Structure formats: structure tokens, C-alpha cells
Amino acid sequence: MRRRDASTLILAGMLGLGRPALAQIAGAPAPFDKGGVRVALISYISAGDFFQAYQAGAEAQAKQLGITLRVFPGRQDAALQRTQIEQAINLRVSAIILDHGLPEALTDLAERALEAGIKVIAFDVNLNNPRIPQIEQSDHQLARLALQQAVAENGPSFRAAYVYVAGFAPLDRRDEVWQEFRRTYPGITEVARFGAVDSTTAATVADQAKAVLRANPGISVVFAPYDEFARGVKLAVNELGLGGKVRIYSADVSTADIQEMTEPGSPWVATVATNPAVVGAVSVRTAALAIAGQAPASPVVVEPVLLTQKALREAGVSTIEELAAKLPAFGQSGAARAAWIKE
């Protein structure tokens, strides 16, 4: 076999005879020096821009590491996610990445996987197990940046609607900051709270938001810290003709979100986001490091950046790729790195 340099990925070409391709990384620790590493990515939610980009980033990083990544798509179905974990254990993968989910449905099976010698990594689901590295987007910082922007643009007193669904670790962490802001700024009144996470989140939230905005004409700010929430609220604001009156502050970004934020008259004025593809890549790198016995300290954090409508318009940014090129802090992360892992 021909070796080029320490970080060169060599496809060993063990195709045929029903055997999978082995991908070796010269100079990498075991088992990556031999190849044949298999990892399962088991998601609770697969629909929506964030989760699709997350998966694409995970797949690209897995390819780079010679990992065969088996993706189990989620349908917001805890029972399905449990079955998928059992399948991954039976497949004897080297690691399982749990992407969101309900902790009470995952804890025992995560433990079973660990007992079977499988590494378990958790993104945005807190299993309270020191053997399971946690990955997150610094949700406290994310919410803080969004709410600081809301206060900077609307002053310390406003009537707000808040979109929230309890039980999702990132939303619960963002909620802690919302509560903290309301204590710091008693002039902020939460007039209404609503939300849903289902197979059509944006549409469901749009219906809820329409009812709330109709019933509460004084609302001037909506804190919607998930892009599917923000899209729903924006639909409602536009349908009710409230474009000049209501401002939306959110989390997450995608090419479609950038277009929705920057279109003329858009009420969606700011979001705070990581690049979800980078978070997917970080998740796979964390799994790879755990498999190699080099698990990074938990939590592994990907820092988000504030993106305002004004800044996006002024920079002429219209896609995620343009954003990553203009803003290096958005396009890459130093988390879960090692000399033998290429991005």
C-alpha cells in the first residue's frame, strides 16, 4: 500500500468479496490506522435546515476520517429512537452519536451501549453521565446575544411573545437566559408563550403565532430561539400585516433563513447561530477521539455568532457558504481537534 504523508487518507480498496472498504489514516491512533471504523448517528429530529446541515457536516467529516457513518433518521419519535439504538448496538458500531432526544427514553440504552464497549456521544441531550461527552452550541451565550440585541434595538421595556417547548436541552438552556433577562429587565413583559416541535414545526407555530398576535396587538418583540419557530412567527407577522410593528429574534441560520431575514420588510431582524455543518463535524470528531481513547473534556462547545439583518444586508451575504467565507469564526471550530484529524 502506498503511503503519502501522515495525514493522507488511504482507501485500502478492500472492495469485492462482500467486504466493506477499509479506510486507513497513516499516523493515526488505533483503530483509525487500520480503518473499518463504523459509527451510528441517531437523530430525534431529521427535518428542517438545521438538522439536514448537521447531518451533511457529520457525513463529510466521517468521510475524511474513513468512518462508515450509518445515519438513523428521526421522526420526533422516542420509541423509534430506542429501536435504532438497539440496532446500532447489534451492529457493534464503535460509537453512537445521539443527536437530540428525550433523556428518559435514552439513558438505559446509552448505558447498555457503554457496557457493550461502544462509545456514546450526545449532542443537545443531557444524559448526566460522565462517560458520555456532551456537545452543545453554548446555548446560554446564544440566548444572551439574541436578547442583548433585542434590548439594544427595543429598549429595556417591551411586550414580548416567547416561543418555547420544554424538554429539549438547548431550548431549556436558552430559557434559563430568558428568565434571567426578565429578572434583569422588569420592563420586559412576557405576554404570551407558545410553541411546538413536530413534523411541521414552522406551520404549527405560524398558526399559534397568528392567534397570539391577533389577541395581543401590543406585542413588539418575539423571542423565537429556533429557526423553525422564527419562520413560523414570520409567516404570521406577514400574514397579519404587522411587518413594521413586530421584530423577531431567533437562533440558527441556513441559506433559506438568510434569504428570509434579508428580504425587504422582513420582521426577522437578528439570529444567533453556529454553522450546523460544523457542529455535525465536531460531533463526529468527538466520537473519533473517544474511539481512539482521546475523548475531549465535556462539554465540547461550538460558539455561536450574532447575525443581524443589517449586517447581512450590508455584507451582501445571501448563502451559508458566503457567510462562512466572510466570517471565519462561523465557518470552523477548534473543538475536538487532533493533528491526525483533517477537517
Confirm or reject binding of residue 197 to ligand SR1 (CB under 6 A).
Answer: yes
DSSP state of 331: H
Is residue 89 within 8 A of residue 120, CB to CB? The reply is no
Q: Which listed residue (50, 158, 162, 178) binds ligand SR1 by CB under 6 A? A: 50
Query: Toward ligand SR1, which CB reaches closer, 59 or 252?
Result: 252
Nearer to ligand SR1, 161 or 171 (CB): 171
Binders of ligand SR1: how many residues, by CB under 6 A?
Answer: 10
Measure the CA–CA gap between 268 and 91, rounded to whole angstroms: 44
| Cβ 3 vs Cβ 25: under 8 Å | no
Does position 275 bind ligand SR1 by CB under 6 A?
no
Nearer to ligand SR1, 252 or 257 (CB): 252
| Nearer of residues 50 and 340 to ligand SR1, judged by Cβ | 50
Tell me how far, at minimum, the Cβ of 50 lies from ligand SR1, in Å.
5
- Pairing, β 247-251 against β 300-301: unpaired
Q: Using CB under 6 A, which of 162, 168, 178, 223 touches ligand SR1?
A: 168
Output DSSP code: residue 296: P
Q: Binding of ligand SR1 at residue 170 (CB under 6 A)?
A: yes
Q: Please, what is the minimum distance in Å from the beta carbon of residue 268 to ligand SR1?
A: 14
Q: Rounded to whole angstroms, how far apart are CA atoms 4 and 150?
A: 53
Q: Is 49 in the site for ligand SR1 (CB under 6 A)?
A: no
Q: Is 280 in the site for ligand SR1 (CB under 6 A)?
A: no
Minimum CB distance to ligand SR1, residue 171 (Å): 5
Report, in Å, the least distance between residue 199 CB and ligand SR1.
12
Scan residues 222-251 and list those touching ligand SR1 (CB under 6 A). 226, 251
Q: Which of residues 127-156 bind ligand SR1 (CB under 6 A)?
A: 137
* Amino acid symbol at 210: K
Any idea what DSSP says for residue 21? P
Is 252 one of the binding residues for ligand SR1 (CB under 6 A)? yes
Applying CB under 6 A, which of residues 49, 59, 124, 260 lies at the interface with ligand SR1? 124
How far apart are CB 137 and ligand SR1 at their closest, in Å? 6
Q: Is residue 160 close enough to count as binding ligand SR1 by CB under 6 A?
A: no
Strand blocks (E) in the chain: 9-11, 23-25, 38-43, 68-72, 95-99, 119-123, 134-136, 158-163, 188-194, 221-224, 247-251, 268-273, 300-301, 305-308
Distance separating alpha carbons of residues 209 and 252, to the nearest angstrom: 19
- What does the DSSP 8-state code read for residue 295? P
Residue owning grid cell 437562533: 251
CA-based nearest residue to 62, from 14, 110, 95, 27: 95
Name which of 50 and 158 has its Cβ closer to ligand SR1: 50
* Cell numbers linked to 148: 442583548
Binding site for ligand SR1 (CB under 6 A): 50, 124, 137, 168, 170-171, 197, 226, 251-252
